[in-house]
Amino acid sequence: MGCVVRKYLGFTLIELMIVIAIVGILVAMALPGYQDYIIRAKVTEAIVVMSDAKTTIAEGYIADGVQGIKNAALAFNEQGNHSSKYVSSIKVMTEAPYSITATIKAQRGNGLPLTLDGKKILITPNVAHEMPTASSKGEIDWACTSSTNITAAERALGSRPLGTMPANYVPAECR
């Protein structure tokens, strides 16, 4: 009688368990980064909502320099509440450094951690890498800051007050 050799077809239980363990490890590593990415995408809406204020300030500067910025800031703030799903308000400082401040709205159901409620992102105008003054000449460049201002500093923008939003939740431009 001959010996019959059996070939195993398919996977053994241990092989399947190893694959499941590897997939679990990969998911555990990727999930926190993905969650930060989702939050960052929602917070980016603040930058979009701030664009109206940026345009208003830039037009004011073109029309009448620093006095134009002050007048534009007053007019923008008087227009009423500028808000969205993730932004509770947009305000423009009427005095130097003329920052535009977005206040984040985190509430149950909108996908942002409640710890981010009330955190601020700032966008500040710079002319010739400094805060605009009566003698400033040139184009406006914008410094976006959160709890850090590394990107604005690397771009040599002199006027860059800090916001309160954690840097890992903002776009790279605002870190």
pLDDT at 47: 94
pLDDT for 64-87, tens place per residue? 999 999 999 999 999 987 899 999
What average pLDDT does this structure show over 106-119?
A: 94
What average pLDDT does this structure show over 42-64?
A: 94
pLDDT at 2: 67
What average pLDDT does this structure show over 37-62?
A: 94
pLDDT at 142: 96
> Residue 100 pLDDT more than 80?
yes
Nearest Cα neighbor of 148 from 132, 162, 135, 134 is 162
Measure Cα distances from 175 to 1, 82, 86, 95, 163 in Å: 77, 24, 19, 24, 10
What average pLDDT does this structure show over 4-30?
A: 86
| Locus of tokens 């947009």 | 90
What average pLDDT does this structure show over 10-15?
A: 82
pLDDT at 33: 85
Task: Report the C-alpha gap between 167 and 157 in whole angstroms.
Answer: 18
pLDDT for 135-164, tens place per residue? 989 999 999 999 999 999 999 999 899 999
Domains of the chain: 34-174 (3.30.700.10)
Task: Report the C-alpha gap between 6 and 116 in whole angstroms.
Answer: 62
Averaged confidence pLDDT in the chain? 92
> Residue 8 pLDDT more than 70?
no
- Angle ∠(149,113,103) on CA atoms, nearest 5: 50
> Residue 131 pLDDT more than 80?
yes
